[in-house]
């Protein structure tokens, strides 16, 4: 905990899918409510997998009411003056403006709890998460268990018909266990379809003839 009842700060819970990020956010929100704090919870409108867009839900079925948003501006417009704790789930789906919003909230004494997947299915920084991690006072990176080898999982494996999805796919594709697996670095696969096709074409064409 940080010094002073009026001090604001930012805490980020990040990591792979199925690692318990939403459950940890819900745990902190419940504790804030027990402490009689004024709390607001937001989530991306894109995530309606479990409890629908009006709840933050964990994979194990726990949930709490939340306001669905599609942009950082919508969060800023709906913050109540009396709010002491603001929680934001699935922050990777929001725009970079969320960085300014959470900074402004912390500056005015609000405790901000952010949860999100820090890497996309390619293993690259996801949305504004890298910037949120940089400005946070507290960071907790959670891991799942690799479904292939059993080691700690730090990557999201996207699947299409049970096979690794190619890197050329869209960055945002909401899904659960039917579309994603948690994997470690070694077991994570991202086929580069276009690159493989280009290499095959070059290899088959051989050296060009001199003019």
137 is catalytic: no
* CATH classification code of 9-142: 3.40.50.300
Residue 171: predicted pLDDT = 79
> What is the block-wise mean pLDDT of the chain (211 residues), using blocks of 10 residues?
67 96 94 95 74 48 79 97 96 97 98 96 95 98 97 95 85 72 96 56 51 38
Q: Which of 11, 23, 24, 90 is catalytic?
A: 90
Residue 211: predicted pLDDT = 38
Q: Which of 88, 113, 107, 105 is nearest to 12 (CA)?
A: 113
Residue 24: count other Cβ atoms within 10 Å of its Cβ.
18
Say if residues 37 and 84 touch (Cβ distance below 8 Å): yes
The residue behind tokens 């190619």 is 166
Residue 175: predicted pLDDT = 59
Residue 4: predicted pLDDT = 46
The residue behind tokens 């690794």 is 164
Residue 195: predicted pLDDT = 47
Q: What angle do CA 143, 149, 151 make, to 5 degrees?
A: 30
What is the total residue count of the chain?
A: 211
Residue 156: predicted pLDDT = 94
End-to-end, the C-alpha distance of the chain in Å comes to 73
Supply the DSSP symbol for 208: P
Residue 162: predicted pLDDT = 85
């Amino acid at each position: 905990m940080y010094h002073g009842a009026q001090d604001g700060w930012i805490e980020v819970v990040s990591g792979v899918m199925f690692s318990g990020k939403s459950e940890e956010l819900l745990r902190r929100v419940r504790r804030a409510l027990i402490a009689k704090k004024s709390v607001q919870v937001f989530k991306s409108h894109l995530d309606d997998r479990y409890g629908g867009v009006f709840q933050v839900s964990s994979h194990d079925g726990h949930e709490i009411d939340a306001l669905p948003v599609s942009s950082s501006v919508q969060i800023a417009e709906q913050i109540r003056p009396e709010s002491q704790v603001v929680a934001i789930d699935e922050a990777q789906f929001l725009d970079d403006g969320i960085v300014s919003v959470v900074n402004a909230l912390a500056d005015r004494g609000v405790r901000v709890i952010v949860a999100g997947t820090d890497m996309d299915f390619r293993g690259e920084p996801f949305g504004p998460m890298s910037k949120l991690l940089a400005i946070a006072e507290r960071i907790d990176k959670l891991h799942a268990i690799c479904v292939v080898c059993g080691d700690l999982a730090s990557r999201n494996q996207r699947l299409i018909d049970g096979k690794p999805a190619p890197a050329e796919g869209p960055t945002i594709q909401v899904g659960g266990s039917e579309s994603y697996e948690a994997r470690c670095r070694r077991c994570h696969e991202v086929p580069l379809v276009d690159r493989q096709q280009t290499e095959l074409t070059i290899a088959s064409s051989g050296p060009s003839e001199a003019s």
